[in-house]
């Protein structure tokens, strides 16, 4: 949309003498100050389009769909994407946010989120039983382990544990993995709680030992001499 100059908003009696004196310079300065705001308003719809918005605005839009945990503030008014591909995969996640939210917590939803966020395929999520998931990286995807661990922690069901394994890595023996910790636990995503080894039943605790009797008092001199 074409922007009008401040000159066009002035009364005609002032515009008639606007060719001389300081007024032309003042009008040019005012138009220059309004130009950045006008440029934004002329293309306002682009600021809310994930594929057209500037990178800082993309990080702000991420907070609207609960994806701001994938951003890192750089200043009070600016943030950046923490994904390996920068803002590009974050734009893809914004476009797919409705579908991802509907499938959140499911195996398909986790795999889809990982594929969009990393722009890689080949992820596998296995149900190991005992409320435990195994997430396998694609071939050659070991550099994505930290990113995948963060995403799995945020998208898995709250009542399960999870571990991230490289392609072909041996699986953890699920018989030694305890039930899922509390959602507020601070353990890392890939950590597993191990049960203590089983041992013989120690039985009931032993009663406390009886304290020794106090020593008897020594006999008095009178008792020793045998009083009648």
Reported as a single tens digit per residue, the pLDDT across 125-181 is 999 988 999 999 999 999 999 999 999 999 999 999 999 998 877 765 443 333 333
Residue 177 is assigned to a structural domain of this protein: yes
* Higher pLDDT pick, 166 / 24: 166
Assess if residue 102 is contained within a domain: no
d(CA 163, CA 149): 8
CA distance 80 to 186: 25
- pLDDT digits 0-9 by tens, 30-43: 888 888 887 888 88
Does residue 138 lie in a domain region? yes
The answer to whether the beta carbons of residues 53 and 47 sit under 8 Å apart is: yes
Residue 124 included in any domain: yes
Q: Is residue 73 part of a domain?
A: no
> In b/e form, how buried is each residue of 115-153, taking b as 16+ CB within 10 angstroms?
bbbbebeebebeebeebbbbbbbbeebeebeebbbbbbe
Specify the pTM: 0.63
Contact 147, 84 (CB under 8 A): yes
Integer Cα distance of 23 and 221 in angstroms: 127
Is residue 212, in this structure, part of any structural domain at all?
A: no
Sequence length of the chain is 228
Overall number of domains in the chain: 2
**How is residue 35 written in tokens?**
């130009």
Domain that holds residue 11: 6-42
74 falls within a domain:
no
| pLDDT of res. 4 | 72
Whether 12 is covered by a domain: the verdict is yes
Here the contacts of 128-132 (C-beta below 8 Å, separation 24 or greater) are: 128/171, 128/172, 128/174, 128/177, 129/174, 130/174, 130/177, 130/179, 131/159, 131/160, 131/161, 131/179, 131/180, 132/160, 132/161, 132/162, 132/163, 132/174, 132/177, 132/180, 132/192
């Amino acid at each position: 949309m074409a922007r009008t100059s401040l000159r066009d908003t002035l009364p005609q009696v002032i515009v008639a003498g606007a060719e001389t004196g300081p007024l032309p310079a003042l009008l040019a300065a005012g138009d220059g100050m309004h130009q950045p705001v006008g440029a934004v308003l002329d293309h306002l719809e682009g600021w809310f389009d994930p594929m057209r918005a500037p990178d800082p605005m993309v990080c702000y839009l991420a907070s609207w769909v609960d994806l701001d945990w994938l951003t890192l503030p750089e200043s009070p008014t600016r943030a950046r994407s923490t994904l390996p591909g920068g803002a590009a995969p974050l734009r893809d996640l914004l476009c797919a946010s409705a579908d991802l939210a509907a499938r959140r917590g499911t195996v398909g939803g986790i795999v889809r989120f990982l594929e969009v966020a990393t722009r890689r395929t080949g992820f596998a999520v296995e149900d190991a039983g005992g409320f435990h998931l195994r997430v396998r990286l694609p071939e050659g995807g070991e550099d994505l382990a930290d990113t995948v661990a963060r995403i799995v922690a945020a998208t898995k069901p709250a009542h399960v544990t999870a571990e991230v394994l490289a392609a072909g890595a041996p699986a953890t023996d699920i018989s030694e993995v305890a039930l899922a910790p509390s959602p507020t636990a601070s353990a890392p995503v890939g950590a597993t709680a191990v049960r203590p080894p089983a041992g013989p039943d120690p039985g009931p605790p032993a009663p406390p030992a009886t304290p020794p009797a106090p020593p008897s008092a020594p006999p008095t001199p009178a008792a020793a001499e045998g009083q009648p």
